[in-house]
C-alpha cells in the first residue's frame, strides 16, 4: 500500500493538480489538509473519476481535512469523538485496506506563549487521548501537517527559528508523546539525514534556496515498521504551476515484511528531538 499526505492549501484551487498527481503517483491513500471547503462542496465526483472514494471533514474557508482511497473507505470518523471539534475541522480517520488512517491538520500556534500556542498543545493532548482509545499493536497510520519540526535537522537553519513556533521544547514534547504511544516516524526510517523538507515559504525564493522545514509526517504503529519499504518527499509537486507551499510525503508499505527485515522490536527507534 502506498500512502501519502499532502497539505494542498485549497482543494478548490488545486483540484486538477491533485487529481493529476494521483494518476501519476498511483498512491492508494492520500491524506489531505487545508482543503478549505465545507463538506457539501467536497469534490467527490472528481475523485471518483480517477478511482478514489473521498471522506471529507470541513467547515468552509479554513482548515479542512480529507482522505482519498482506492482500497476501500469504511468506519469514517470526523473529529476526535462525539464532542464538537473546538478547533475546527482538523481530523478525520477511516479504515482503508485494513489499515486505520488518520488525516490531521495541527494548529499553527502563531506566537510562542499566545493563546493560540496553548490551544495547539491542548489539541495535541486530545490527539494523544484519541490514540489512547486505540491499540498500538494494530496497523495504524497518522499523516498530515503536524506543524512541528521534531528535530533541529528538520529545519534549514536552527538559529533562524529561535523563539519561533514549530520548534519549541513543548511542541516537540507533544509530538514525542505520539511516538511514546507506539508510533514511529516512517520517513525517518529511510532518511536519517537532514536537509529534507516538506514546506517552504512562498516568499523570497525559499524553495529554490532550500530554506524549508519538515513539518508533514507519516507516523505508523510499530508492527508496520518492517513492512515500510520506502519513503520520499515529492519536491516536483511543489513546483509551478500554482503549487501548494507543501510537498507530498509518501511511504510504501508492503503486504508482508520483505525477506531479511528485522522485527519491529529489534529495530532502533528513530531519534527524537
In this predicted model, what pLDDT tens digit does every residue of 172-200 receive, in sequence order? Answer: 999 999 999 999 999 999 999 999 999 99
Q: Is residue 273 included in any domain, yes or no?
A: no
pLDDT band at residue 1 under the 50/70/90 scheme: very high
Could you tell me the three cell numbers for 177? 508523546
Q: Is residue 82 included in any domain, yes or no?
A: yes
Q: Is residue 271 included in any domain, yes or no?
A: no
Helix 169-181, helix 115-132: angle, nearest 10: 10
User: How many separate domains does the chain show?
Assistant: 1
Q: Is residue 175 included in any domain, yes or no?
A: yes
Q: Is residue 272 included in any domain, yes or no?
A: no
pLDDT tens digits for range 83-131 = 656 678 999 999 999 999 999 999 999 999 999 999 999 999 999 999 9
Arithmetic mean of pLDDT over the chain = 93
Could you tell me the three cell numbers for 88? 475546527
Q: Is residue 73 included in any domain, yes or no?
A: yes
Are the C-beta atoms of 93 and 101 separated by less than 8 Å?
Answer: yes
Lowest mean pLDDT among 18-22, 27-31, 63-67, 254-258: 254-258
Asked if the model's pLDDT at residue 265 lies above 60, the reply is no
Prediction pTM value: 0.94
For residue 214, what is the domain's CATH number?
3.60.10.10
Instruction: For residue 214, give the nearest of 232, 230, 196 by alpha carbon.
Output: 196
d(CA 258, CA 228): 9
Asked if the model's pLDDT at residue 271 lies above 90, the reply is no
Q: Is residue 242 included in any domain, yes or no?
A: yes
pLDDT at 268: 46
Q: Domain range spanning residue 213?
A: 2-266
Q: Is residue 92 included in any domain, yes or no?
A: yes
pLDDT band at residue 263 under the 50/70/90 scheme: low
Cα torsion angle, 32, 36, 39, 43, sign: negative
pLDDT at 270: 43
pLDDT tens digits for range 198-218 = 999 999 899 999 999 999 999
What is the DSSP secondary structure assignment for residue 193, as one 8-state letter? S
Asked if the model's pLDDT at residue 67 lies above 60, the reply is yes
Amino acid at each position: 500500500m502506498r500512502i501519502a499526505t499532502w497539505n494542498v492549501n485549497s482543494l478548490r484551487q488545486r483540484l486538477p493538480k491533485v487529481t493529476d498527481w494521483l494518476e501519476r503517483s498511483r498512491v492508494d491513500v492520500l491524506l489531505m489538509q487545508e482543503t478549505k471547503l465545507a463538506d457539501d462542496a467536497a469534490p467527490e465526483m472528481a475523485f471518483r473519476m480517477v478511482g478514489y472514494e473521498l471522506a471529507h471533514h470541513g467547515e468552509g474557508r479554513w482548515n479542512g481535512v480529507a482522505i482519498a482511497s482506492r482500497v476501500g473507505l469504511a468506519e469514517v470518523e470526523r473529529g476526535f469523538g462525539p464532542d464538537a471539534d473546538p478547533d475546527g475541522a482538523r481530523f478525520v480517520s477511516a479504515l482503508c485496506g485494513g489499515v486505520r488512517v488518520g488525516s490531521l491538520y495541527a494548529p499553527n500556534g502563531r506566537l510562542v506563549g499566545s493563546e493560540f500556542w496553548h490551544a495547539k498543545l491542548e489539541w495535541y493532548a486530545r490527539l494523544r487521548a484519541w490514540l489512547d482509545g486505540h491499540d498500538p499493536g494494530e496497523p495504524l497510520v497518522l499523516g498530515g501537517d503536524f506543524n512541528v519540526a521534531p528535530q533541529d535537522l528538520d529545519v534549514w537553519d536552527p538559529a533562524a527559528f529561535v523563539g519561533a513556533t514549530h520548534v519549541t521544547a513543548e511542541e516537540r514534547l507533544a509530538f514525542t508523546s505520539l511516538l511514546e504511544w507506539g508510533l514511529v516516524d516512517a520517513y525517518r526510517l529511510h532518511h536519517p539525514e537532514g536537509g529534507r523538507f516538506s514546506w517552504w515559504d512562498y516568499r523570497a525564493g525559499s524553495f529554490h534556496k532550500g530554506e524549508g522545514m519538515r513539518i508533514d509526517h507519516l507516523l505508523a504503529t510499530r508492527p508496520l515498521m518492517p513492512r515500510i519499504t520506502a519513503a520520499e518527499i515529492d519536491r516536483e509537486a511543489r513546483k509551478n504551476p500554482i503549487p501548494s507551499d507543501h510537498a507530498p510525503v509518501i511511504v510504501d508499505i508492503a503486504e508482508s515484511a520483505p525477506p531479511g527485515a528485522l522485527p519491529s522490536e529489534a529495530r532502533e527507534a528513530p531519534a527524537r528531538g
